[in-house]
């Protein structure tokens, strides 16, 4: 009987295993000993267990990211999206999905949208931009390091990472006049002094 291995998972249900074999030790002249492996039926029954459950506690909830999708354009700048869900593996090994993702609120959410650039377009007709309602994720984070101007669409609760020297104009629907805007710098939340145009704006 061998020693039990470490648990395959520390939470969410795991398994520990060990080798259990029926053997006969044979002593030889001079004190040497050899081991003969026999069929299980030749050893006392029942056979000792070779595995046991472990890690029978719930795992903490965590963000689960999917693969990035294709770029939204065939050339020029576009957007890629992926699914980011809040899930938890419980003690019996089953997965729980949370929406709204309240259980993951204390963890920074990975970005669901990123910019992509497939190169210079031959003509303006070659480049297509996503419609406003294509970004359906309730919270999105966008990052851009391009020097040229760019139009981005964010739902309420979304965010964009801006770099030093970036100019920003924000267009809000008139029924979202009370939305508060802010930015963070060095982990401190500060007032957002920007030009805001109220009204319907589609790109």
DSSP state string for 153-170: ---TT-EEE--TT---EE
- Which residues sit opposite 115 in a β-bridge? 79
Give me the pLDDT at residue 37, please: 83
Cα torsion at 104, 105, 106, 108 (round to 10°)?
A: 80
Task: Provide the token pair at 68.
Answer: 């990035």
Distance between CA atoms of 175 and 197, rounded to whole angstroms? 12
Note the pLDDT of residue 82.
Answer: 94
**pLDDT value, residue 103:** 93
Q: Are 79 and 72 in contact (CB under 8 A)?
A: yes
Residue 176 DSSP class? G
Tens-level pLDDT at each residue, the chain (203 residues): 788 999 999 999 999 999 998 988 887 766 677 778 888 888 888 888 999 999 999 999 999 999 999 999 888 888 999 999 999 999 988 999 998 999 999 999 999 999 998 888 775 444 444 444 343 344 444 544 455 566 666 666 667 766 655 666 666 655 544 556 666 666 666 555 443 433 333 33
C-beta separation of 74 from 128 below 8 A: yes
Answer whether 117's CB lies under 8 Å from 78's CB: yes
Neighbouring CB atoms inside 10 A of 142's CB total 20
Please give the C-alpha separations between residue 129 and each of 15, 78, 140, 155, 194, in angstroms, as whole numbers.
50, 7, 17, 17, 25
Res 179: pLDDT? 56
Q: CA angle 68-71-75, nearest 5°? A: 155
Question: Alpha-carbon dihedral of residues 190, 191, 194, 198, nearest 10 degrees?
Answer: 130
pLDDT reported for residue 125:
47
In the chain, beta strands by DSSP E:
14-17, 22-27, 33-38, 51-54, 62-65, 77-81, 84-89, 95-98, 113-117, 141-143, 159-161, 169-172, 182-185, 188-191, 195-198
Q: Is the peptide bond before 100 cis (omega within 30 degrees of 0)?
A: yes
pLDDT at 180: 61
Predicted confidence at residue 181, as pLDDT, reads 65
């Amino acid at each position: 009987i061998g020693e039990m291995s470490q648990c395959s998972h520390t939470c969410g249900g795991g398994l520990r295993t060990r080798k259990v074999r029926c053997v006969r030790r044979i002593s030889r002249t001079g004190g040497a000993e050899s081991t003969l492996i026999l069929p299980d039926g030749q050893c006392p029954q029942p056979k000792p267990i070779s595995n046991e459950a472990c890690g029978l506690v719930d795992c903490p909830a965590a963000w689960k990211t999917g693969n990035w999708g294709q770029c939204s354009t065939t050339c020029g700048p576009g957007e890629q999206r992926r699914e980011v869900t809040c899930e938890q593996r419980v003690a019996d090994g089953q997965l729980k999905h949370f929406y709204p993702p309240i259980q993951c609120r204390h963890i920074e959410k990975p970005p669901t949208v990123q910019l992509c650039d497939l190169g210079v377009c031959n003509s303006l007709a070659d480049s297509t931009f996503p419609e406003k309602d294509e970004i359906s994720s309730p919270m999105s984070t966008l990052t851009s390091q391009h020097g040229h101007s760019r139009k981005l669409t964010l739902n309420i609760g979304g965010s964009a990472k801006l770099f030093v020297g970036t100019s920003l104009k924000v267009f809000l629907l008139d029924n979202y006049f009370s939305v508060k805007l802010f930015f963070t710098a060095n982990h401190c939340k500060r007032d957002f002094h920007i030009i805001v145009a109220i009204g319907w704006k589609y790109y």
